[in-house]
Amino acid sequence: MTDDTKRGKGADGAPVAVVTGASRGIGAGLASYFASQGLRLGLCARTEPTSPAGADAVTAVVDVGDAAAVDRFADEVVDRFGRIDLWVNNAGVLEPVGPLADADPAALERHVATNILGVMHGTAAFARHVRGRAGEGSLVNISSGAAATPYRGWAAYCASKAAVEMVTEVVGLEEAASGLLAYSVSPGVVDTDMQALTRATPADVFPDVGRFLRLHEEGAFLTPDWVGECILERCLDPATRWRPVAGQGLVHFRVPDGPTTG
C-alpha cells in the first residue's frame, strides 16, 4: 500500500501522523515504519525522538502529563504541516510493578499522569484539531490485553489500560459528528524495553512472568513494522479502514498474528 491516495493524501501533501512516546520501543518502531510509507511525522517523548532517516518530521521533548505542553506540540505540528490526520497516543509506562498494597503512592501518581492523563491530553488536543478543519481524523490509543486480563503485580497497568479503552469510546461518541474516528489498538507482544523489564521481574513480584519468558523463548514477538502496517490499513487508509458500528464510539482490535522476531 504505497499509493498516496490510499494513505489518505490530501491536497496539501502526504498524511501527517503524530506519535507520542516515539523515542523508543513501539513508538520508535511506528515512527520508522510510517516514515517508510511516506507519512510526515510529529514525534514526541520525554527524551527527544530521533527522526527516521529521510523523514519530514517535527520532534520535541514533551511530557504528555502536561496538557499545555501537548497542546503546544500539536500547534507546532499543525504550523509545520497544516493538519494532523493520525494521532497515536503511545506513551506509557509499566511501573510500579508488584502488589498494589506495596506500591509507592508517588509512583502510582506518575503512572496515572502518563498512562491516563497523557492519553486524555493527547486525545483532547487532537479532537479540538479535528473540529477545526475539514475531513476525518483517526485517533489511535494504544491499549493492551491487560485492559481486560488481570495480571498479578500489574494493578496500575491493567487499570490504566482499561481506562484508555473507556476514554477512547466516550470521545469517539462525543466527536463522531466532527469526523473523529476512534480506535483502541492492542499491539500484541512486541519485544521492547518494557518487555525486557517484564522478563527481568522476579516471580514473587510478578507471578505471571512465566508467560512472557515462554514467548521470548519461542521468538513469538510481533514486529513494530507489522503493528504499523495494521494501524495504517485499519485506521488511516480510506479504502480499508474500519469504522465503528452505529451506536458505538470506537473500533477495538488486537493486532493479528503476523511477522514475528522468531
pLDDT (tens digit, 9 = 90+) per residue, 14-36? 999 999 999 999 999 999 999 99
Could you tell me if residue 106 is inside a domain? yes
Dihedral angle over CA of 143, 144, 147, 148, nearest 10: 130
Tens digits of residue pLDDT in 149-178: 999 999 999 999 999 999 999 999 999 999
Residues 187/201, Cβ–Cβ less than 8 Å: no
Tell me, yes or no, whether 2 lies in a domain: no
* Span 66-81, average pLDDT: 98
pLDDT for position 8: 45
d(CA 192, CA 108): 22
| pLDDT tens digits, one per residue of 100-119 | 999 999 999 999 999 999 99
Which pLDDT band holds residue 72 (cuts at 50, 70, 90)?
A: very high
Q: Which residues are catalytic?
A: 157
84, 39 Cβ separation under 8 angstroms: no
Q: Tell me what pLDDT residue 262 has.
A: 58
Burial of residue 106 (number of CB atoms within 10 Å: 0-12, 13-18, 19+):
exposed
In a domain, residue 116? The reply is yes
Mean of the per-residue pLDDT values of the chain: 93
% of the chain at pLDDT higher than 70:
94
CA dihedral 163, 64, 75, 173 (to 10 degrees): 0
Q: Going by C-beta distance under 8 Å and a sequence separation of 6 or more, which residues neighbour residue 52?
A: 31, 32, 35, 36, 41
Contact in structure between 188 and 254 (CB atoms under 8 Å): yes
Buried b (16+ CB within 10 A) or exposed e, 224-254: bebbbbbbbebbbbeeebeebeeeebbbbbe
The secondary structure of 49-111 as a DSSP string is PPPPTT--EEEEE--TT-HHHHHHHHHHHHHHHS--SEEEE--------S-GGG--HHHHHHH
Q: Domain range spanning residue 53?
A: 16-190+223-254
Average pLDDT rounded to a whole number, residues 185-204: 89
For 140, phi and psi rounded to 5 degrees?
Answer: -120, 115
Identify whether 3 is part of a domain.
no
Flag whether 28 is in a domain: yes
Query: pTM (2 decimals)?
Result: 0.92
Residue 71 lies in a domain: yes
> What pLDDT is stored for residue 7 in this prediction?
43
**Position 11 confidence tier, pLDDT thresholds 50, 70, 90:** very low
Residue 1 has pLDDT above 50, yes or no: no
229: CATH: 3.40.50.720
More confident residue, 161 or 212: 161
Q: Which pLDDT does position 219 carry in this prediction?
A: 80
Is the pLDDT confidence value at 12 over 70? no
In the structure, what pLDDT confidence band is assigned to residue 80 with cuts at 50, 70 and 90? very high
Q: Which three cell numbers stand for residue 16?
A: 501527517
Determine what percent of the chain is predicted with pLDDT higher than 90: 82
C-alpha cell at 27: 513508538
- Asked, for residue 10, whether it belongs to a domain, the answer is no
How many structural domains are present in the chain?
A: 1
CB atoms within 10 A of CB 6: 15
Above 90 in pLDDT, residue 217? no
Q: Note the pLDDT of residue 261.
A: 62
Q: What is the average per-residue pLDDT within 59-81?
A: 98
For the chain, what percentages of helix, strand and coil (3-state, to nearest 5) are there?
A: 45, 15, 40
The cell numbers describing 170, all together, are 466516550
SS3 state at 11? coil
Q: Is residue 51 part of a domain?
A: yes
Task: Over range 239-251, report the average pLDDT.
Answer: 93
